[in-house]
């Protein structure tokens, strides 16, 4: 793994690990969702960096995935990516953190689904980077 990739991976792992720690607490569904979005975003950016592509300062998962797919299609469910992407907010005000577009917090089941999806993306990233390093 390249040095510029390592920072993205370090923080992506932390986001997903934190979501994993709090995944069973229904009080933290917004935080779980937010950290899943962040982890996915960072894994996409790590993959772009690893492949010597520019890393845009954007947070839209669909746009980032389109850039990733220009290298390799990971076969991800884009509707779910879009759903998770909408969790991101640049605001840190309490009424915005981890809120879905409908103004509600995700349910515990939704939050856990986001976490499983984020872990799948982590696994895909790791297998692709490992595969590339053996070539």
Which is nearest to 125 in space by CA: 74, 77, 49?
Answer: 74
pLDDT value for 99:
76
Q: CATH no. for residue 17?
A: 1.20.120.330
How many domains does the chain fold into? Answer: 1
Distance CA 116, CA 67 (A): 22
pLDDT tens digits along 79-102: 999 999 988 766 566 666 667 777
Owner of token pair 């076969």: 75
Question: Residue 93's pLDDT is what?
Answer: 65
Of the candidates 3, 8, 80, the one whose C-alpha atom is nearest the C-alpha of residue 42 is: 8
Residues of the chain by 3-state class (helix, strand, coil), percent to 5: 65, 0, 35
The structure's pTM equals: 0.91
Owning domain of residue 100: 3-133
pLDDT of residue 23: 97
Q: Looking at residue 102, what is its pLDDT?
A: 79
Question: Quick one: pLDDT at residue 87?
Answer: 86
Ranges in the chain, pLDDT < 70: 89-98, 132-135
Q: What is the rounded (10 degree) CA torsion for 77, 26, 96, 57? A: -40
Q: Which residue has the tokens 């979501």?
A: 19
Segment (H or E) for 54 = none
**Rounded CA gap, 43 and 13, in Å?**
9
Question: Considering only CA atoms, which of 51, 69, 24, 45 is closest in space to residue 132?
Answer: 51
């Amino acid at each position: 793994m390249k040095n510029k990739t390592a920072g993205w991976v370090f923080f992506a792992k932390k986001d997903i690990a934190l979501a994993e720690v709090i995944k069973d607490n229904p009080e933290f569904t917004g935080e779980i969702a937010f950290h899943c979005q962040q982890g996915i975003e960072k894994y996409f950016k790590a993959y772009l960096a690893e492949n010597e592509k520019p890393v845009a300062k954007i947070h839209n998962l669909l746009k980032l995935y389109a850039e990733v797919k220009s290298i390799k299609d990971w076969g991800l469910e884009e509707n779910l990516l879009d759903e998770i992407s909408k969790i991101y907010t640049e605001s840190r005000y309490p009424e915005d953190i981890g809120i879905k577009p409908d103004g509600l917090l995700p349910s515990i089941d939704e939050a856990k689904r986001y976490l499983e999806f984020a872990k799948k993306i982590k696994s895909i990233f790791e297998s692709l980077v490992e595969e590339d390093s053996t070539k």
